[in-house]
Structure 1
């Protein structure tokens, strides 16, 4: 039997109702575009915004289930754009650790309610957004920190766990890779390979847990058309545009969304 927070009965936005409600599209379209643009050329870190945005109108677990096939589809386009460009040594450490994190996330899936998931998503969003805003405002320079096996295993496992629950593997991976200050194309290519392996692996436990049901897959298919558009914009931005404004808008939105979700999660836990 599925846990309470993963049943589709927990939301009014299911099946035909979800696909016909303008509020769903108001958050889902930006969520998919931001994720595909980010994965297409900005390292994928802003993909953490997708589940929090969609969680404003549907349960976080359902939002994650809808986004997973879309992310897998995005990965195919991103792989084509950055094929052959990746850091092999980093991936040899990060990928096995991430697979362990996915296993841990699967085992703990039944232990987390909707309120706990909202609080988890909100807390990750706030911390990641605040850290970026703080670093940007105060211009703290960061020394180059080479790859380390122990740190790579820790960050990789955390990324696998958070990616499984809310597709928020970007923050821990960025916290590990960015200090290495590698070439931006090498950095993006490495994250593309990493998340392709992680996302396609997650299809197995998601299917086992019953999250890839017909209504969620139908929503995924409707939104999937935006994926190649976003990836092309992301690749173009990677080579042509300064991304300051894009990052500021997304991170401020992520911070505000994180506050809202954290408030809802804490309120629900207190009232339980």
Structure 2
């Protein structure tokens, strides 16, 4: 799945890099937040997919990867398109977490190189990263412990819940700026 999403994500990153200085991050946050809430509403109305993963047409997967790469570069909001896609595939929790992790590892590695090339990394930003890096370890340990304790149904519900919170937060942050 990662291989199917990455070409689009790389295109989205490139478009994000080109538009970085003039794109309105709040507009991107608004659009991604709205998409996240629509995905959650669809889940609330229809429930989680059952059975084998459905086949998503390659152009759709490419487009979702591109949206994720673009939104990630411009507004650090690339999660909802990918999570919505992965949730729609009916993956078990281990497949979901592994695919999501590998996708964003690749995306963020490329994004870091691009930000460095654009002069966006500074000593101050690296210091902040060093200070908060221990929380990454705490998050991985906590996630690993919880992964084995939460059943599939609760896991899916939690992911949709966090997707809903993400969508609401993106709208909360963007709406006042867009309509001020």
**Shorter chain as normaliser: what TM range?**
0.7 to 0.9
Query: Cα 1:212–1:125, aligned 2, differ >3 Å: closer, same or farther?
Result: same
**Partner of residue 37, structure 2:** 129
Tell whether the 8 Å contact from 1:118 to 1:264 is kept in structure 2 after alignment: no
Which runs of 5 or more structure 1 residues have no equivalent in the other structure? 1-89
Cα distance, 1:166 vs structure 2 = 2.4
Aligned counterpart, 2:79: 170
Within the alignment, does 1:108 sit opposite 2:43 as a pair? no
Give the drift of 1:253: 4.2
- Distance in 2, Cα, partners of 1:258 & 1:236: 29
Query: Aligned in 2, Cα 1:141/1:245: closer, same or farther, shift over 3 Å?
Result: closer
Q: Which runs of 5+ in 2 are unaligned?
A: none
Q: How many residues align?
A: 174
Give the distance between the partners of 1:169 and 1:225, measured in 2 at CA. Answer: 23
C-alpha change, 1:260 and 1:93, in structure 2 (3 Å) is closer
Determine if contact 2:39/2:84 at 8 Å carries over to the other structure: no
- CA, structure 1 residues 264+211, in 2 after alignment: closer, same or farther (shift >3 Å)? farther
Q: Between Structure 1 and Structure 2, whose CA radius of gyration is higher?
A: 1
- 1:187 and 2:103 equivalent? no
Query: CA RMSD for the aligned pairs?
Result: 2.5
Contact 2:5 2:61 in 1 (8 A): yes
1:149 to 42, 58, 61: 58
In 2: Cα distance, 1:118 partner to 1:169 partner: 13
Shift, 1:251, TM fit:
4.9
Task: Deviation per CA, 1:31-62: give whole Å up to 9, x if none.
Answer: xxxxxxxxxxxxxxxxxxxxxxxxxxxxxxxx
